[in-house]
Amino acid sequence: MSVPRFWREIPQRYNLIGNKCEICSKVYFPPRESCPVCRRKSIGHIKDLKLSGKGEVFTYSIIHVSSGEFEEQVPYPIAIIKLDEGPMITAQIVDCDPDCVKIGMRVESTFRQIQQDGYTGALYYGYKFKKV
Amino acid sequence: METLGIVSYGADIPRLRITAHEIASVWGKDGATISKGLGIIEKSVPSIDQDTATISVESARAALRRCHINPQDIGAIYVGSESHPYAVKPTGTIVGEAIGATPDLMVADYEFACKAGTAAIQTCMGFVKANMIKYGLAIGADTSQAAPGDALEYSASAGGAAYIIGKKNVIASLNHTYSFTTDTPDFWRRAERKYPSHGGRFTGAPAYFKHVTTCATTLMKKAGTSPEDYDYAVFHQPNGKFPVSVAYKLGFSKEQITQGLIVPYIGNTYSGASMVGLASVLDVAKPGDKIMVTSYGSGAGSDGFDITVTDHIEQLERSNAPSIKQMVDDKQYISYGVYAKLTDLLYWE
Amino acid sequence: MRDVAVIGVGLTKFGEIWDRSFRQLIVEAGSKAILDAGIEGKDIDAMYVGSMSSGRFIGQEHVGALVADASGFYNLHIPSTRVEGACASGGLAVRQGYLSVASGVNDIVVIGGIEKMNDVAGTSATETLATAADQEWEAFFGATFPGLYAFIATRHMHEYGTTKEQLAQVAVKNHANGALNPYAQYQKEIKLEHAINATMVAYPLGLLDCSPVTDGSAAVVLCSAERAKEFTDTPVKIIGAGQASDSLALHGRRDITTLDATVHAAQMAYKQAKVTSKDIQLAEVHDCFTIAEICAIEDLGFVKKGDGGKAIDNNITTRDGSQPVNTSGGLKAKGHPVGATGVAQIIEIVLQLQGRAEKRQIPDARIGLAHNVGGSGATCTVHIMEGM
Ligand SMILES: [Zn+2]
C-alpha cells in the first residue's frame, strides 16, 4: 500500500462513503462510477451516501495464517458483512473471542488502525467491526 | 441565555486489561502489596490496532452520537496526548476527517504530559467565547508507555475522552478555569526515546501535590466556592493514592471523589485521566450538580475547572454511547506475554 | 471458426523444484510438448504464456519474450504473448491460443503455463497469491486467499449442511489420485482423520484443505483439426471453450457459494460443444481448496446446488464414480503452480482421452472437461475435449 493509494480512499476507509443510484435505489460500497443495473441512464444520477456502519455477519473465517502485515494478530476473525443499506463488505471483527463470531450476528463499524508501512512508514486507519 | 460550556462528551477505553498481580509476578514482586500501594487493581491495554488516533476518533464519535450537532459546525480540534502515533504529523487531522469536520477547521496536537487534554478544553473555551468558532472539540487521549519493570508499568494505560465545547445546548457550564504552571521537571520523555523517565518521589510533594493543591485552592477562591459546594470533584489520577490524598488535604470527602475516580480499574490514561473521570461524573450528573476538575501535567502545571450541570443534560442522549462504567466492565484479561507483544516489547530486527 | 485439436503435451515434475529455474522449467515443458507433437520451431505460428505473477515471484515481467528467448526461438521472431488471469492464467492462455487457431490466423501454436513460487518465502507467496483478491477492499483489510474460500465454505456449511468431513473427503480422494501420478507434488495417500484435524489455516479450512505452493510448468501444442493427423494418430479436439468473469471481490457476488463465472463459462462451453453436463465423463476442476471442488461440481452441473459435499459418499467424483473428478490429483495433490495449472488440467484430460493416463486411466473416456478459476471466482475458463 502506498500513501497516495491509501489517501485517495480515506472517505471510504474512515467514513464508509458509498453511493446510491437514484434510478433504481441500489446502494454501492465502494462507490461505483455508474450503476451496473441502470448503466448509462445512471450517469449523473449516482450520489454519495454515507453508510450507517451497521449490519450483520453474512459469512466469516478465522485467519490463522496471514500475510506479513497481520501476523501479530492471528488468529483473527474476519467476515463478509451485509450492511443494512445492502452492500456487502469484508472486514475484521474485533473486541471479541474469535469463536464468538456467528452468521447473523449484528455488528457495527469501529475506527482502527488497519496497517502500517513498517516501523517508519505511514499508518493506515479504517473500519473494522464489533459485536453490537 | 448563552452559557459557555460542555455541549457533549464521549470516551473510549480499550477492552484489554492486565492486572497489577500479573505484572508483579513477572518481576518477582508481590502483586497484592503493589496493587494496594498504588491503588490500582488493573490497567487497560491498547489492542494492536488501537492508538491515540483511534481512541480520539471513537471518543469524538461517541460525543457526536449523544448530541445532534453538525460536525461541519466544529471549527477547531485540539488533541492532547503524549503518545501521538506520529512524532510529526497531526492526530487532529485524522480525527477531523473521521468525524466529517474538515476542511474549514483549525487543528493542532497538544502535549503537556497528563494535562494536554484539559489545555485543549481551555483553548476551545477561548475560541468559543471570542465567537471565532461555533463549537470546539477538545480531546485527551493516550496509549502511554512504561519501560519494562518500571513502577509506571503498573499504571501507564490507554483511554481517552472528547468534549465538545460551545455556547448552545450546553449540558455543563464552564464557569471558571484557572491554571497554575511552573517549570518542574518531575517526569519527561526525551525526543526519540521510547520510554519516559521520572524523578521518583520528586513527582509527589513538589510536583503533583503542590500544583494540584494550589490550582484547586486558587480556582475556588476565584469562583467564591469551598469544597462543600461541590457534588463531585475530579483530580488527576496517576495512581489510586494521589487523588484521594490530595482531595482529603483540600477538604473533599470520599463521596465527592468516588464517581470520578476510575484509575483503580483502568490505570492512568495520562491525557485522558481527569477527562475520563469527568465523563464518569457526567454519566450520572443531574441538573444543578456542581463539579470541580483539577488536572495535572508533569513539567508541570494544573488546569482547574468550576462546572455547573445544566437542565439541558436531560436532553443529551447519554445512552447513545457506552458509559464509563460499561467500558470499565467490558474487559478481557491478557497475560504479560501478550502484553509484551502488543506493546512492542518483543520487537527485534 | 474451425475446429482445433491438441497434438502434443509436456509437463515438468510439480513440487519444490529447487535446482530448476523459471526458464529451465518452461523450456522443459515446452520442449516435451513440441517433441510429443512432432513439430519443429519453424512450424510454430505463435506462443502464449500463462503466468500469474512472475513479477512478484521472480522479479521478472515480459516473460512472453523471455520464453521465446529461453526456448531458442528468439531468432525465429515468433510472436509470444503473456496472458494473465491470476490462477486462471493457464486456462486463459489455452483459450487465447485456441481462438487464434480457430479464427484461422494461426495453424500451430504452443501454449505454456508456468509459476516458480518457491523462490520467495512463504509469507511473500501468501501475499502474492492475495493479489488475485481485491487489494483495496479485501486484502487491505486482512483477508487472505484461503480466507476468501473459507468464507465460501462457512456459508456453504450454513446453507447446505456441508461438513468439515465432506471437505476432508475431497482431499483424501485427490491425494489417492495424486499417489498414482508420477508428476504430482504429493504422491501419497492421506487419512481422513488427518485431513479433518489438520492445523488451521483459515477456519474452517485446515492445511490439508489447501493446495500447496508449487513450482512447475506445463505446455500443449494446438493445431487446426484438419491438419492434426499429420502430427499424431490421437489428436484430442477442443469442442468447447468458455470463459466468463465476475466481480473481483467475493463480497460483490450475486451468491457467495456459487461461482457465476463457472456457471457462465460452462454454459458457453456446453453450448458450443453441443453437450450437457451429463455427457462429461471426467473432469479436472479447480480445487485450490477442497470447498472449491465442491462448488465447482455444483456450478458445472454435475450435482444439484448444495449437494457437492455428498459427491464422494454418493460415488460420483471418485475414480470409479460416475463422473471422476481430478484424476491427476487435482491442485490439491498434484500441486498448484498457478500459471501452469490451467494448462496442466488440459494435459490430464488429453492423456485420459488418449488412453495414456497409466495407473489413473479411466476406461473408455471420450469426453472430458477442464475447469480453471482465477482468484475467488472472478475469472473462469471451461474447456471441453473429445478424442478424435
Ligand atoms: Zn441503478
What Cα–Cα distance (Å) separates residue C129 from each residue in C54, C99, C143, C262, C322?
12, 28, 11, 20, 34
Whether residue C136 and residue A30 make contact (CB cut-off 8 A), yes or no, is yes
Whether residues A67 and C138 touch (CB distance < 8 A) is answered with no
Determine the Cα–Cα distance for residues B309 and B230; give it in Å rounded to an integer. Answer: 11
How far does residue C249's CA lie from ligand 1's centre (Å)?
A: 20
Annotated catalytic residue B58: no
Residues 6+ apart with CB under 8 A from C9: C32, C33, C36, C218, C219, C220, C221, C346, C347, C350, C351
Percentage of residues of chain C with pLDDT beyond 90:
98
Q: What are phi and psi of C265, to 5 degrees?
A: -65, -40
Q: Where in chain C are the domains?
A: 4-121+214-230, 134-209+239-387
The answer to whether A36 contacts chain C (CB < 8 Å) is no
Q: How far apart are CA A24 and CA A47, in angstroms?
A: 12
Q: What is the percent of chain C where pLDDT is above 70?
A: 100
CATH number of C134-209+239-387: 3.40.47.10
Look at residue B74 and give its three-state secondary structure: strand
Which of the residues of C are catalytic?
87, 336
- pLDDT tens figures, A46-98: 999 999 999 999 999 999 999 888 999 999 999 999 999 999 999 999 999 88
Rounded to whole angstroms, the Cα distance separating C165 from C196 reads 6
pLDDT of B192: 85
Residues C242-256 have a mean pLDDT of 98
Helical H segments across chain B, by residue range? 20-26, 31-38, 52-66, 92-98, 116-129, 210-223, 242-250, 254-258, 263-266, 273-284, 324-329, 336-342
Cell of residue B29, nine digits = 514482586
3-state SS, residue C9: strand
Strand partners, C190: none
Q: How far is CA A57 from CA A83, A101, A108, in A?
A: 9, 8, 10
pLDDT band, very low/low/confident/very high, at C126 (cuts 50, 70, 90): confident
Helices C260-273 & C290-299, crossing angle to 10 degrees?
A: 50
Cβ–Cβ of B53/A114 closer than 8 Å? no
Nearest to B330, CA basis, from B44, B57, B8: B44
Q: Tell me whether the CATH fold assigned to C4-121+214-230 matches the one assigned to C134-209+239-387.
A: yes
A84 CB within 8 Å of a chain C CB: no
Name chain A contacts of B98, Cβ cutoff 8 Å. Answer: 14-15, 111, 125
Q: A50 alpha carbon to ligand 1 midpoint, in Å?
A: 17
Q: Which amino acid is it at A17?
A: I
Q: How far apart are CA C160 and CA C154, in angstroms?
A: 10
Side chain identity, residue C224: S
Q: Is C338 left (phi over 0), alpha (psi -120 to 50) or beta?
A: alpha
Q: pLDDT tens, position by position, for chain B (349 residues)?
A: 589 999 999 999 999 999 999 999 999 999 999 999 999 999 999 999 999 999 999 999 999 999 989 999 999 999 999 999 999 999 999 999 999 999 999 999 999 999 999 999 999 999 999 999 999 999 999 999 999 999 999 999 999 999 999 999 999 999 999 999 999 999 999 998 999 999 999 999 999 999 999 999 999 999 999 999 999 999 999 999 999 999 999 999 999 999 999 999 999 999 999 999 999 999 999 999 999 999 999 999 999 999 999 999 999 999 999 999 999 999 999 999 999 999 888 776 5
Q: Please tell me if residue A14 touches chain B, with a CB cutoff of 8 Å.
A: yes
Rg of chain C taking only CA atoms, in angstroms: 19
CA angle A114, A117, A121 (to 5 degrees): 125
- Check whether A1 has a pLDDT greater than 80: no
C147 vs A64: CB contact, 8 Å cut-off?
Answer: no
- The Å distance, Cα C216 to ligand 1 centre, comes to 45
3-state helix, strand, coil split of chain B in percent (to 5) is 40, 25, 35
CB count within 10 Å of CB C259 equals: 30
Closest residue of chain B to A119, computed from CA coordinates: B347
Neighbours of chain B (3+ CB pairs under 8 A): A
Name which of A15, A113, A114 is nearest B98 (Cβ-Cβ).
A15
Picking from C337, C341, C244, the residue whose alpha carbon sits closest to that of residue C285 is C341
The crossing angle, in degrees rounded to 10, of helices B242-250 and B210-223 is 40
Interface of A with C in 50-79 (CB under 8 A): 58-71, 73, 75-76, 78-79
Contacts of B58 (CB under 8 A, 6+ apart): A110, A111, B10, B12
**Distance from Cα A21 to the centre of ligand 1, integer Å:** 5
**A7 interface with B at CB cutoff 8 Å:** no
Q: Which CATH number fits domain C4-121+214-230: 3.40.47.10, 3.60.15.10, 1.20.120.1200, 1.10.10.10?
A: 3.40.47.10
Q: For residue B259, how many C-alpha atoms fall within 13 Å in the half-sphere facing its CB?
A: 19
**φ/ψ (deg, to 5) at B347:** -70, 135
pLDDT in tens, C358-386: 999 999 999 999 999 999 999 999 999 99
B234: left (phi over 0), alpha (psi -120 to 50) or beta: beta
Tell me whether strands B16-19 and B42-45 are parallel, antiparallel or unpaired: antiparallel
Separation of first and last alpha carbons in chain C: 18
Taking one residue from A and the other from C, the number of pairs with CB-CB distance under 8 angstroms is 101
| Phi/psi at A14 (5° precision) | -85, -40
- The arithmetic mean of pLDDT across residues A17-26, rounded, is 97
Q: Hey, how many other C-beta atoms are within 10 angstroms of the C-beta on C6?
A: 31
Residue in C111, C114, C86, C87 with CA at minimum distance from that of residue C25 = C114
Go through the domains of chain A in sequence order and give each one's CATH number. 52-131 (2.40.50)
The SS3 of residue C175 is: helix
The verdict on a CB contact (< 8 Å) between A90 and C141 is: yes
Q: For residue C157, how far is the Cα from the chain centroid?
A: 25
pLDDT at C222 over 70: yes
Q: Most A CBs within 10 Å: which of C144, C157, C254, C260, as the mutation test of the A interface?
A: C144
Domains of chain B (ranges plus CATH)? 5-172+316-342 (3.40.47.10), 173-313 (3.40.47.10)
Q: What is the DSSP string of chain A?
A: --HHHHHHTHHHHHH-EEEEETTT--EESS--SSBTTTBGGGTT-EEEEE---EEEEEEEEEESS--GGGGGG-SEEEEEEEETTS-EEEEEEESS-GGG--TT-EEEEEEEEEEESTTTS-EEEEEEEEE-
Which residue is listed with cell 470520578? B260
Please, which residues 60-119 of chain A have a Cβ atom closer than 8 Å to chain B?
72-73, 94-95, 110-114, 119
Query: In B39-179, which ranges are continuous DSSP H helix?
Result: 52-66, 92-98, 116-129
Residue C243's H or E segment, with its range, is strand C236-245
Distance, in Å, from the CA atom of C113 to the CA atom of C90, rounded to the nearest integer, reads 5
Q: Per-residue pLDDT averaged across C81-104, rounded?
A: 98
Q: Is residue C218 scored above 80 in pLDDT?
A: yes
Task: Report the residue of A112, A114, A115 to disrupt the B interface, i.e. the one with the largest count of B CBs within 10 Å.
Answer: A112
**Structure pTM?**
0.97
